[in-house]
C-alpha cells in the first residue's frame, strides 16, 4: 500500500508518546496532555443538551451561526480595540487547531516560510508540513524569559517569509510577551508585510496584573493579524472542539473554502451553547484561573525546592517548564527513567523543538493532591539520580 510522503512526514507528538506509554502502565501519575482537569461548567452542558433536544441538529452556515459570531465580536471588540464585523471578520472552527491550519492554508503557498518560536506547540510543525511550507525557528531563550526578540525575528525573515506564528501565553513554557515586546514585533511584521497568526487560547489563564494585550491591537496590525482562540482551555471544553478565528475580512471570508471541504461546519448545539457561555460564564472562567494560579504557586515552589531542578515561574497557561540541564541526561532519558522508576509521566522538552532540549514540561492541570504527589515522586527520582552521578 502506498502511503503519501506527507503522511509519512507527520511526526507523532511526544506529548502523545508519553501519554500512550503512561496508559500502558498501572498507577501512573500523568502530567502530559494539556487539558483542564475540570468538567465543563454544568450550565454550558445544560444549554447544549437543551439545543440538542430542541432539534438544532442541522448543518450551520460554514463560518458558524451568526449568534456565536456576534458573541465573539462583542467579547473581543474591546480587547482588539476596534469594532469587529461578525458577518465578515469571524469564522467558527473545530477548535483552535483547525483555525490555525485553515489560516495557514488561506495565506501560504507551497515553499513559503513561517517564523515560529522554538520551543513551540507541537502541532504547528506538522501543520506547516501539511501546507508544504517551511519553518524558520527563532530561539525563545531562557535569558529572555522564553520570548523571541524582535531582532532575532528580523534576522530570520527571508524572501519567502509570509507569516509569523505567535503564541502568548505560551505552551510549553508559560511565557508571555509584554506590550512593549509585542509592539516591537508588530513593527517587524508591518515592515516585512507578514501576516501574523496570534494563538491566544490561554488569554484568560494569565497570572499577572497587566491587562491582556493582543498583537492585533498594535498599530498596523488589525489588517494583518488572525487571532485564534477556542473554548478548549478557558471554558474547560477541549472535547467539544469549538474554536474561532478573528481577522481582516479579506482573509476571513476566504477561510470557509478549505473549512467547508474539510469539516463543513462545527456541530450546531455546541455553537449555540458556546454563544451562551461567552455571554454568561465570566465568573466560571475567572474561578478556574484562580485555581490554576494557586496550583502554579504550589508547583513552582515545590519543584524549585528540589536540588538540581530550576523552573521558570509561568505567567500564563498551565505548564511548568523545568530546566534539567544540571543532570546532563537528555530530556527523553530523564522522562523515560522517571516513568520507569516513579510511575510518573511528563514530556521531554526536545518534543517542542531543539531549544527544548535540557527541559521537561509538566502540566499542572491536576488537583493539588496529585500535584503534591508528583512533586514528591520527582524529588525521589532526582535524589536517586544525584546519588548515581
Ligand atoms: C498553544 C495551543 N494552541 C492550540 C491548541 C489546540 O487547541 P484546540 O484543542 O482548541 O484545538 C493547544 C492545545 O493544547 C495549544 O496549547
Give 160 Cα–ligand 1 centroid separation in angstroms. Answer: 26
For a pocket test of ligand 1, which of 201, 230, 351 has the largest count of ligand atoms closer than 8 A to its C-beta?
Answer: 201
Q: b or e along 271-310 (b: 16 or more beta carbons within 10 Å of the residue's beta carbon)?
A: bbbbbbbbeebeebbeebbebbeebbeebbebbeebeebe
Q: CB-hemisphere CA count at 13 Å for 33?
A: 14
Give 1 Cα–ligand 1 centroid separation in angstroms. Answer: 33
Q: Going by CA atoms, what residue is nearest to atom 13 of ligand 1?
A: 34
Residues 6+ apart with CB under 8 A from 41: 235, 236, 277, 281, 284
Residues 6+ apart with CB under 8 A from 135: 113, 114, 115, 116, 124, 125, 128
d(CA 363, CA 319): 4
302-359 confidence digits (pLDDT tens):
999 999 999 999 999 999 999 999 998 999 999 999 999 999 999 999 999 999 999 9
Residue count of the chain: 389
Q: Does 97 sit in the ligand 1 pocket, CB within 6 Å?
A: yes
For a pocket test of ligand 1, which of 37, 119, 233, 317 has the largest count of ligand atoms closer than 8 A to its C-beta?
Answer: 233
- Which among 368, 374, 283, 388 has a CA at the least distance from the CA of 322? 374
Q: Does 316 sit in the ligand 1 pocket, CB within 6 Å?
A: no
Q: How far is CA 186 from the centre of its chain?
A: 20
Task: Provide the whole-model pTM.
Answer: 0.97
Q: Does 243 sit in the ligand 1 pocket, CB within 6 Å?
A: yes
Residues 6+ apart with CB under 8 A from 311: 300, 303, 304, 320, 321, 322, 323
For a pocket test of ligand 1, which of 96, 119, 172 has the largest count of ligand atoms closer than 8 A to its C-beta?
Answer: 96
350 φ, ψ (degrees, to nearest 5): -65, -20
Q: Are 5-40+283-388 and 53-280 equal in CATH topology? A: no
- Which among 259, 243, 252 has a CA at the least distance from the CA of 216? 252
pLDDT at 388: 84
333 φ, ψ (degrees, to nearest 5): -55, -45
For a pocket test of ligand 1, which of 95, 176, 205 has the largest count of ligand atoms closer than 8 A to its C-beta?
Answer: 95
pLDDT at 285: 98
**Which regions in the chain score pLDDT beneath 50?**
none
- Options 3.40.640.10, 3.40.50.300, 3.30.70.1890, 3.40.50.620; CATH of 53-280: 3.40.640.10
Give 231 Cα–ligand 1 centroid separation in angstroms. Answer: 10
- Options 3.90.1150.10, 3.30.70.260, 3.40.50.11260, 3.40.50.300; CATH of 5-40+283-388: 3.90.1150.10
d(CA 221, CA 210): 21
pLDDT at 349: 98
Q: CB-hemisphere CA count at 13 Å for 342?
A: 24
Give 202 Cα–ligand 1 centroid separation in angstroms. Answer: 9
pLDDT at 387: 87
pLDDT at 139: 98
The domain segmentation of the chain, as residue ranges, is 5-40+283-388, 53-280
Amino acid at each position: 500500500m502506498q502511503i503519501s510522503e506527507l503522511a509519512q512526514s507527520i511526526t507523532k507528538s511526544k506529548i502523545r508518546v508519553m501519554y500512550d506509554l503512561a496508559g500502558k502502565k498501572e498507577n501512573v501519575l500523568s502530567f502530559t496532555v494539556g487539558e483542564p482537569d475540570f468538567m465543563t461548567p454544568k450550565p454550558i452542558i445544560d444549554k447544549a443538551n437543551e439545543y440538542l433536544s430542541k432539534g438544532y441538529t442541522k448543518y450551520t452556515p460554514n463560518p458558524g451561526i451568526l449568534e456565536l459570531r456576534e458573541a465573539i465580536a462583542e467579547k473581543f471588540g474591546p480587547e482588539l480595540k476596534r469594532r469587529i464585523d461578525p458577518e465578515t471578520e469571524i469564522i467558527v472552527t473545530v477548535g483552535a487547531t483547525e483555525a490555525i491550519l485553515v489560516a495557514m492554508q488561506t495565506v501560504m503557498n507551497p515553499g513559503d516560510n513561517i517564523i515560529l518560536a522554538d520551543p513551540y506547540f507541537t502541532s504547528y510543525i506538522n501543520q506547516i508540513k501539511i501546507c508544504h511550507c517551511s519553518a524558520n525557528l527563532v530561539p525563545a531563550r531562557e535569558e529572555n524569559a522564553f520570548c523571541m526578540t524582535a531582532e532575532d525575528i528580523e534576522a530570520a525573515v527571508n524572501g519567502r517569509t509570509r507569516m509569523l506564528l505567535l503564541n502568548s501565553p505560551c505552551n510549553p513554557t508559560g511565557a508571555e510577551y509584554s506590550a512593549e515586546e509585542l509592539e516591537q514585533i508588530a513593527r517587524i511584521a508591518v515592515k516585512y508585510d507578514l501576516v501574523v497568526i496570534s494563538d491566544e487560547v490561554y488569554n484568560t489563564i494569565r497570572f499577572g496584573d497587566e491587562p491582556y494585550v493582543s498583537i492585533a491591537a498594535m498599530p498596523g496590525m488589525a489588517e494583518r493579524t488572525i487571532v485564534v482562540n477556542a473554548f478548549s482551555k478557558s471554558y474547560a471544553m477541549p472535547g467539544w472542539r469549538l474554536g474561532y478565528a478573528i481577522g481582516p475580512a479579506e482573509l476571513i471570508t476566504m477561510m470557509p473554502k478549505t473549512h467547508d471541504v474539510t469539516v463543513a461546519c462545527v456541530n450546531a448545539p455546541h455553537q449555540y451553547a458556546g454563544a451562551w457561555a461567552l455571554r454568561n460564564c465570566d465568573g466560571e472562567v475567572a474561578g478556574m484561573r484562580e485555581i490554576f494560579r494557586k496550583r502554579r504557586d504550589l508547583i513552582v515552589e515545590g519543584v524549585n525546592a528540589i536540588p538540581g531542578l530550576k523552573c521558570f515561574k509561568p505567567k500564563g497557561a498551565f505548564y511548568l517548564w523545568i530546566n534539567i540541564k544540571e543532570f546532563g541526561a537528555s530530556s527523553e532519558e530523564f522522562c523515560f527513567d522517571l516513568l520507569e522508576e516513579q510511575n510518573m509521566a511528563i514530556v521531554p522538552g526536545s518534543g517542542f523543538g531543539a531549544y527544548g532540549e535540557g527541559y521537561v514540561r509538566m502540566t499542572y492541570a491536576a488537583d493539588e493532591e496529585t500535584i503534591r504527589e508528583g512533586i514528591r515522586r520527582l524529588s525521589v527520582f532526582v535524589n536517586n539520580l544525584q546519588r548515581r552521578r
